A and B are shown apart, each in its own frame.
Chain A
Amino acid sequence: MPLFDTDFLKKLEYLAIVSRRVFRGQLLAQQRTRQLGTGIEFADHRDYTPGDDFRHIDWSLYARHDELLLKRFQEEEDLHLYLMLDCSPSMGFGTPPKFDLARQMTAALAYMALSNLDRIAIIGFADSILADYPLTRGKAQILGLMRFLENLHPAGHDTSLTAMVQGFVRRQQRRGVVIVISDLFDPHGFQEGLNILRHHQYEPHVLQLFDHKEADPPLRGELELLDMETNTVNKVTITERGLKQYKKLFSDFMEQVERYCRQYGMGYTASPGDVPFDALILRMLRESNVVKN
């Protein structure tokens, strides 16, 4: 079954309309910058100084108060959205694999952004940047983007968010919203990478995916555990007590990620990998401010 079928595309169109209708003024394509310029939305007045363009003088105000004031407008610009897709082998775990939902979410968010005339870029990463879809604009790019996503597969041998982000921020590019779609199973810790993004004026948002078998693994007895990322094998005897400890550790980890994101004002959404992508998109839009003004 193809990842992006006709049904998927219909849902994308529907999501684009819904998002525009419901979150008008806060959605991706109508972002206001801090620059005042030639936009259509009034910002404030200032005193006229010689040399200013007469077209911006507020003549109505001059008629009432006999005072020359210039109207200033909010300058609007398109948004830069960077979608960071975790392509590490751990994303291939689960039924269905978490990577499937991750790619669908990437495509959906990209389509919504392109529909609102924003610019998007996709960065596939594991221990470093594995694949890169450069900044692009316009709905016409969606098919190429989907082909790009379809050709992506879990690769690499470890997740290192920090290493990838360090490479990302060195690029000469405009700041924007960064959506990290990952399971965050980074043995070096996820905080460092997100901190770097924040410090470089990006607005990170975390979409954490997990599988039910990760939260409650059906494992008992003598086993060899094969780590999909490091490809290492651990012989363990899983007892009820050990399983109990695992569940607690996993739960603590999820709470730690959420607490960290809330602490620094980052959007955070956690979801199992077997939910429909459209439902997850709507949940994201409802629960969090994906993009701030």
Chain B
Amino acid sequence: MSLTSPAALFWFLLAIPIVIFYLLKIRLRRVPVSTTMFWNQIYEEKKPRSIWQQLRHLLSLLLQLLFLALLALALTDPLFFWETNQKRRLVILLDRSASMQANDTSEGSRLEAAKVDIHDMIRTLRSRDDMALIAVGATAEVVTGLTGHHRTLHQAVDGLEPTDQPTDFREALKLANSLIEGHPNGEIVLMTDGGFDDFENVAATEHVVSQLYGEPDTANVGITQFQIRRNLIDPVGYEVLVEVINQSSEPAETRLEMELEGDIVDVIPLKLEPDETWSKVLEYTSPTGGILTALLDKEDALASDNEAYAILSTLQPQKVILVSEGNRFLEQVFNAIPLVELEIVAKQPETIPENGVLVFHRKTPEVLPTGNVLVIEPESTTDLWTVGETESSPLIAAQDKESKLMAHVRLDNVLLSEARKIEPKTEIEELATSVEEIPIYFSHETDQQKVIVLNASLDEGDLPLRTAFPILMSNALNWFSGAESEFLESLATGAVRKVDVSELEPDSTTIDLPKKPDSAEEPSGSERVTRKLTSISLTGPQEHAEELIAQDEQLWLGPLNHVGLWKLSPVTQEKKTETTSIENTASVPIPQIEIACNLANSQESNLRTPELTDSVQKLQQAGFSFSPFWFYLILFATIFSCVEWYLYQRRWVD
């Protein structure tokens, strides 16, 4: 044992006055009384205890000297050899994943209970000890580096906010190990609820002590999957993938309520057996789209997995101009496709509306216009192909099954009456070909033009009578509109996604910067690469906004902290300078991208704390040594003081 402040040993000199006072105390105060005959009656009985009476005085002195010795020793701040070898270095890995928000502890949430423990640990830090605090979610965030400053550590702990992220301790553990590397008294304190894959291994790692929060039987029902997409067959339909899990050893009953933009879409009662996962793809229709919300009507320990969000793309009406002398099959099929605004004309219009489709039946111009063009049964040569002789009863020999244009379509058993021999003048994508290698159905796509050709007669043959025909046309219109790219996947908390922000139309905040800084010594032969940086504002579900930088109209987004709807919007000059009036700002609609974020993590929804095995070092064992030695010295001194008071000094009034 060594002493931090040996000078405090001078306090032992106080023993001298104590002994002097003790000796003076033996010379008792003499008090004259008129008679001792009454006192004699009282104390005559106690004579046999006279030896004890003498010992009591000595014991009193010993207790007082012991009290002094302990206090003086405490002032020297003694350290045991294992404490003096090197100072301690503690790295706290605090789990702040979604499951730590479960409110099954006496302090409220698990995170709050952990924060209380960290505050206690900070208070027991000695002057030479260091502590670092790393908050662990999907990523590791160093909240404070190694420091022994108590106030800084307390403020850092108080400033920690819960997140809905999943848990990934691997990166944090590497970071913590690098902080204590080479330090003989380094220790990593794992404060978690154990809700991640590799917990047993992480907790059993050398230098790691663990403290678990939560209960082993905390029940929870949560949504672990919630995705939405447009129906591939039905343009106005959509499919919802939803998964609900009962992370409990008891059966659970709940209701799953789904609302699209505030309107109830469906309410599904659920009865889940212990540990049962209910998963289903549900189909609904909506031409408008919007925010689809799923809610579990059950209050449990974790709220963030009782709600989930998804964004259904909004369909725009599609203008279809049919240049034809009249074909009932074509009119009927386009009228049957939802959101199609059909216009039949005899002559080719001068312009094609944006996102519109120009359909030529038989007659085609020599040069096809730019834009979306669908040609049915071409009769004349154009700039893209040359029309040859007619081939009767062609049989479909091959079709591209991978193409989206051919999705859910089989043409091999369709009887066609005739088809023209077509020689393409440019590169085409053959979607269906006859035995004679005549392209029956093919597409051509450039930056300015999208062309689909169906080389088959509709008046004869059974193609218009087949179900494949409307699907074929619907696929074609979807291909023209690009609707298949509108699938907006819900993002899981903690995940990262690349987002195209080109539609946000950044204004003057957009800047062009050279990749390399200007320099006089720049080699003349080096290529100058220009990157386009754009400021994007990210607003979370809690209306907290932060500014991100997109590069070349691509933004790496994530990991997101909270479940809910996040919005990306451009950082306008008005926002930055705040000089423009509110009215002007309000009059211009600000483009924005909405992103749904869900917990979608069955491990985070599982709130049942695992049992610690014997190989895991628990914090409670290590925590006892956290209290400095002088604390126990003063504790014992106080106890001895109380004993001395009880034996010799206590008084009470009857």
Contact = CB atoms under 8 A, between A and B. Distances in A.
Interface of A: 90, 93-94, 183, 185, 187, 211, 214, 217, 219-220, 222-230, 232-237, 240, 242, 244-246, 249-250, 253
Contacts of B654: 240, 244
Contact of B39 (A90, A183, A236): A236
Given A185-B35, A240-B651, A240-B654, A224 B30 contact: yes
B28 A222 contact: yes
Nearest to A246: B38
23 contacts: A90-B34, A93-B32, A93-B33, A93-B34, A211-B34, A222-B25, A223-B28, A223-B31, A224-B28, A225-B36, A225-B39, A230-B36, A234-B39, A234-B43, A235-B28, A236-B43, A237-B53, A242-B42, A242-B43, A245-B42, A246-B39, A249-B38, A249-B42
A245 B42 CA distance: 7
A90 B35 contact: yes
A28 B28 CA distance: 52
Nearest to B36: A227
Say which size band chain B's interface belongs to.
20 to 34
B37 interface: yes
Given A234-B43, A245-B42, A228 B35 contact: yes
B328 interface: no
B34 A225 contact: no
Nearest to B33: A225
A249 to B, nearest CB: 5
Given A90-B35, A220-B651, A240-B652, A233 B30 contact: yes
A216 to B, nearest CB: 12
A211 B33 CA distance: 11
A234 B28 CA distance: 11
B36 A234 contact: yes
B31 A229 contact: no
A155 to B, nearest CB: 15
B61 to A, nearest CB: 13
Contacts of A240: 651-652, 654
Contact of A234 (B25, B40, B652): B40
B29 interface: yes
A223 B33 CA distance: 11
B41 interface: yes
Contacts of B32: 93, 226, 228
Q: DSSP class of A's interface residues: helix, strand, loop or mixed?
A: mixed
Given A224-B28, A237-B53, A240-B651, A232 B36 contact: yes
Contacts of B34: 90, 93-94, 183, 185, 211, 214, 228-229
Nearest to A185: B35
A233 B53 CA distance: 17
A214 B435 CA distance: 138
Nearest to A232: B36
Contacts of A217: 33
B31 A224 contact: yes
Given A237-B53, A240-B652, A240-B654, A253 B38 contact: yes
Interface in B615-653: 651-652
Given A90-B34, A183-B34, A228-B35, A223 B29 contact: yes
B50 to A, nearest CB: 10
A290 B358 CA distance: 147
Nearest to B57: A222
Given A222-B28, A228-B35, A233-B30, 7 more contacts: A93-B33, A214-B34, A223-B29, A223-B30, A225-B31, A234-B40, A234-B43
Nearest to B38: A249
Contacts of A229: 34-35
A250 B36 CA distance: 11
Given A236-B43, A246-B42, A249-B42, A226 B33 contact: yes
A185 B37 contact: yes
A214 B41 CA distance: 15
A100 B30 CA distance: 24
A249 B29 contact: no
A94 to B, nearest CB: 8
A226 B28 CA distance: 11
A248 B37 CA distance: 13
Contacts of A250: 38
A200 B31 CA distance: 41
Contacts of B29: 222-224
Nearest to B53: A237
A217 B38 CA distance: 12
A228 B30 contact: no
B649 to A, nearest CB: 9
A142 B145 CA distance: 103
Contact of A226 (B30, B38, B42): B30
A187 B33 CA distance: 14
A249 B38 CA distance: 7
Given A220-B651, A237-B53, A242-B43, A227 B30 contact: no
A187 B37 contact: yes
A91 B654 CA distance: 30
Contacts of B652: 240
Given A93-B33, A214-B34, A249 B28 contact: no
Contacts of B38: 246, 249-250, 253
Nearest to A226: B32
B123 to A, nearest CB: 41
Interface in B25-81: 25, 28-43, 53
B63 to A, nearest CB: 16
Nearest to A158: B35
A253 B53 CA distance: 29
A49 to B, nearest CB: 62
Nearest to B27: A224
A94 B654 CA distance: 25
A99 B41 CA distance: 26
Contacts of B651: 220, 240
B42 A228 contact: no
Contacts of B35: 90, 185, 187, 227-229
Nearest to A237: B53
B49 to A, nearest CB: 11
A236 B43 CA distance: 7
Nearest to A97: B34
B59 to A, nearest CB: 13
Contacts of A249: 38, 41-42
A157 to B, nearest CB: 12
Closest 10 CB pairs of A and B: A93-B34, A90-B34, A185-B35, A227-B36, A224-B30, A224-B28, A226-B32, A249-B38, A245-B42, A222-B28
Nearest to A94: B34
A90 B25 CA distance: 28
Interface string B17-30: 00000000100111
A163 B42 CA distance: 27
Nearest to A183: B34
B43 A226 contact: no
A98 B41 CA distance: 24
